[in-house]
Copies of this chain bind each other. A is one copy, B any other.
Amino acid sequence: PSMEATAPSVGAGANGSLAAAARAQVGPPTNPMATALLTDQYQFSMAYAYWKAGKHADHAVFDLYFRKNPFGGEFTVFAGLEECIKFIANFKFTEDEISFLQSVMPMCEDAFFDYLRGIDCSDVEVYSIPEGSVVFPKVPLMRVEGPVAVVQLLETPFVNLINYASLVTTNAARHRHVAGKSKVLMEFGLRRAQGPDGAISASKYCFMGGFDATSNVLAGHLFGIPLRGTHSHAYVSSYMSLDEIPDRTLRNKDGSKICKDFVSLVKEWLCKIQAADSLRNVFGDTNQSELAAFASYALAFPSSFLALVDTYDVMRSGIPNFCAVALALHDLGYKASGIRLDSGDLAYLSIETRKVFHAIEKEFNIPGFGKMVITASNDLNEETIDALNKQGHEVDAFGIGTYLVTCYSQAALGCVFKLVEINSRPRIKLSEDVAKVCLLFTR
């Protein structure tokens, strides 16, 4: 795709009220820490040297691009543009920031800090490929033009805001590609991400890269991404027995009547499952604390019951306990959502689980029970999903965390920001590394 000018109101000449209008229109950066100080010290050293030499207002053109597709792949998805636009629309030094800069650069003349006080990005123009585009190495993704001292200050935050955004969007797109269009993909990476913002950015950009939902509530709030999440092993472990459920009543779905003892109904179903010819020899005794946790969870969420079935033993306890609760819910007009597997051989367990669901559907004549959603979520990544596909599996939804959000197989994209022109004269940097040398000019 060709580049187009973005945020034209920002690049419309030095004009305080116009800059204020841009701020109001674009809104603040998602991360309040993305302020004008979020840059490298050398950008300020250079700004001072430019200013001392009277070069600070020289018109410079910088290109942002990367040299190699990540993950050994053949494409990259460009992301992070919106945050860059928010960054420049809000770019302004506060007095507190100016004081800090004075304290760390005591050798600089006072007039330089007056200059910093006055700058914003109203003289900066940004041309960019649209966010979400598939892009390739060495092609400029963004061109940033303006006074050299100001554009240099933008180098570090722009590269920061584009690098990880593009990397994790690409990673998400690759996971979508390997999982296929029909699977539900959920980003579960908050706890393993590189800090709060790593997590929030991951949620935003995984959604952009083709994921369906996130576990991150704040990301749901900030970006409107659908949220998913039911319960953890700790929830299951926290129950000891069915005696811990004080209120066992459950109104049926259409509200017409009340089941006074949902727990007894669950126990009846468990007995029926254990006695069923088609299921005989599959199920023995199940873990009663797990059954209590499932029953209690179903009482709280009868319309969206989804159980984590691997706390004790998937096939001997988790699945029969889940089925008993799901069948009891069915008696009251509710449809259970499904199960989640978080350990073990996901291909085998999902296939065995599906067999049980189909057997239950047939045995008790419950249409649709066989199609219960099976979610898997144990340290998944592109390779493990590909391996599951090759083995054959019955997983409908994947919850993916660590490998997705930290971009474990390649944790950084090497975006660079290179001066290509100053005062209309092309510039080139020759490097001792031959691979880094390339001709740069305004394309």
Contacts and interface: CB of A to CB of B under 8 A. Distances in A.
A190 B38 contact: yes
B234 A53 contact: no
Contacts of A312: 430
Interface string A377-406: 010000000000000000000000010001
Given A42-B229, A432-B344, A52 B296 contact: yes
A217 B41 contact: yes
A238 B433 contact: no
Interface of A: 29-35, 37-46, 48-50, 52-55, 58, 60, 62, 97, 100-101, 104, 107, 148, 152, 155-157, 159-161, 163-165, 168, 188, 190-201, 215-218, 220-221, 227-238, 240, 244-247, 296-297, 299-301, 303-304, 310-314, 343-345, 349, 378, 402, 406-408, 410-412, 414-415, 417-419, 422, 425, 427-433, 436
B42 A230 contact: yes
Most buried by B among A195, A233, A344: A195
A152 to B, nearest CB: 7
Most buried by B among A38, A244, A344, A408: A38
Contacts of A220: 41, 100, 104
A196 B83 CA distance: 11
A412 B419 contact: no
A60 B33 CA distance: 35
Given A41-B227, A197-B33, A343-B432, A238 B427 contact: yes
B412 A402 contact: yes
A198 B314 CA distance: 37
Given A49-B300, A246-B54, A412-B406, A42 B196 contact: no
What are the 8 closest A-B residue pairs judged by CB atoms, nearest first? A344-B432, A197-B197, A41-B229, A42-B229, A406-B411, A49-B300, A234-B419, A194-B194
A164 B148 contact: no
